[in-house]
A and B are shown apart, each in its own frame.
Chain A
Amino acid sequence: MATIQKNIYIFFMALIFILLIIPNTIFGDNEKKETLIQVPPPPFSEDIFPCSECHSDMEPNPERRVLEEMHDDIILKHDENNRWCLDCHDLKNRDKLHLANGKLIDFTESYKLCGQCHGPKLREWKNGVHGKRTGYWNGKKTYLLCAHCHNPHSPKYKKMKPEPAPDDPMKGRR
């Protein structure tokens, strides 16, 4: 008799334990998935990507120079005295960027490249303080890449024309 009671007791305890555990794991997981970083595609100029489309037939030239035939619209204003194209763009795989240690990364991960110098900004971006988030304050958010707001070749944010000033509060009363 006592063993049956004991068995029933153990069975119910196990059941309660399972019921407590299951929802936690399932819903806990869901919550995390919702807040995953979502990055829209990088802001390429029209018909420029994949780069290999043109570059695959060309002899790679690693020598630092001023580009004259192509990409002459790009004016580098981003530590231009010390850097040039191939510090970020990869010589061999034209469709990728590379980090300082040579590791290849996709254009969609360009924030890793920016973060090599701009560490504190990358940290703030990851925490949603630097950069812009849209969507749900309690759910799915859309991030922008650094390059969506800052042209990587000339990153200072461009000035813009402001919207009209508010009406004079004394309008119609003077």
Chain B
Amino acid sequence: MSDNKTIEKKESRRTFLKKTALASTFATLAACGSDSSWEEFFQKNFKTLDDDDKNKIIKRLEKKYTEKYGKKFSVSGKDPIDDTLFGYGLDISRCIGCRKCVYACVEENNQSRDPQIHWITVLEMAKDKGVDLFHSHADYERELVPDDDHFYFPVACQQCENPPCTKVCPVGATWKEKDGIVVVDYNWCIGCRFCMAACPYGARHFNWAEPNVPKDEINPETHYYGNRPRPKGVVEKCTFCVQRVREGLYPSCVEICPVGARKFGNLLDPDSEIRYILKHKRVLVLKEELNTQPKFYYFY
């Protein structure tokens, strides 16, 4: 008799634990926010998925964003173009520091307006100091630019060939694509910000709050790794406008630059503008000594 009782007790304890475990799982799920669906919660790392699964996720996201912003959204999952390695050139003798690129980028890539996120930082440097980050300012306010005693040095993601940021990601949510663009899977990012600490260029930005983009200003032509709306608590960065360049278009900052200081092209094509620059101009990369091997070339 007593044996039976202990067995009964054991069983009830087991069921109790089971129930508690289940309840706490649900509680955790519920706490993850009403925005995220079951599918989103159990979604795997995007780069490990096959085309079918990717398409399902893309369809789901398109539906979600269309409902949220009241605009027909398209989310592309386009793979890199074959035989392409993107490179960027910036003529520091021509940049006038007008910051048009900064705001063109914000509009194209749906960066949060408040709290403010800018993927491009334009630094003002004194002509008598040269390229000297320690004496540079991003917050210059001037009636007219360029100032006679200063030159301007825009910095965004340098799309390193040897990127320190991807190495430190504990979950593999950021990596370098075949065409050289370093991307982030916003759905896989856990928001630990190790990559921000590892990046020597300050090119990664964290969504401290739910990104805030007015409905009438949102750009509905997006890419999964690029300008699609981001959730709170993930890291984002410049992707050379992956949604544009994989369609053959120039990045948004190249299109807007009023002085044509920004150049873009395929490093593997010997006839491209960027290869001409590397061959004929005086080229420097930022923080060369760190061996990050940027594909963002400053020239003059």
A residues adjacent to B (C-beta < 8 A): 127-139, 144, 149, 157, 159-168, 171
B144 x A132 contact (CB < 8 A): no
How many contacting A-B pairs (Cβ < 8 A)?
91
**Cβ contacts under 8 Å, A138 to chain B:** 81, 248, 266
Query: A166 contacts which of B121, B272, B280 (Cβ < 8 Å)?
Result: B121
B250 x A135 contact (CB < 8 A): yes
A134 x B263 contact (CB < 8 A): no
> Which of A134, A137, A157 counts the most chain B CB atoms within 10 A?
A137
Task: Select the stretch in B30-38, B52-60, B211-219, B253-261 that faces chain A.
Answer: B253-261
Q: How far is it, in angstroms, between the C-alpha of A161 and the C-alpha of B140 when the chains are bound?
A: 12
**Cβ contacts under 8 Å, A129 to chain B:** 91, 263, 273, 276-277, 280-281
Q: How far is it, in angstroms, between the C-alpha of A105 and the C-alpha of B272 when the chains are bound?
A: 29
Query: B100 contacts which of A127, A130, A163 (Cβ < 8 Å)?
Result: A163
B residues adjacent to A (C-beta < 8 A): 81, 91, 96-100, 102-103, 115-116, 118, 121, 138-146, 245, 248-250, 254-255, 257-260, 263-266, 272-273, 276-277, 280-281
B260 x A168 contact (CB < 8 A): no
B265 x A168 contact (CB < 8 A): no
B273 x A163 contact (CB < 8 A): no
Taking the closest CB of chain A, its distance from the CB of B160, in whole angstroms, is 20
A159 x B264 contact (CB < 8 A): no
Taking the closest CB of chain A, its distance from the CB of B3, in whole angstroms, is 65
* Contacts known (A129-B277, A160-B144); A166 close to B260, Cβ less than 8 A: no
A128 x B263 contact (CB < 8 A): yes
Q: How far is it, in angstroms, between the C-alpha of A166 and the C-alpha of B138 when the chains are bound?
A: 8
Query: B276 contacts which of A127, A162, A164, A171 (Cβ < 8 Å)?
Result: A127
**Cβ contacts under 8 Å, B139 to chain A:** 165-166, 168
Taking the closest CB of chain B, its distance from the CB of A5, in whole angstroms, is 41
A132 x B257 contact (CB < 8 A): yes
Q: How far is it, in angstroms, between the C-alpha of A159 and the C-alpha of B121 when the chains are bound?
A: 20
**Cβ contacts under 8 Å, A162 to chain B:** 97-99, 140, 142, 144-145
Q: How far is it, in angstroms, between the C-alpha of A139 and the C-alpha of B257 when the chains are bound?
A: 20
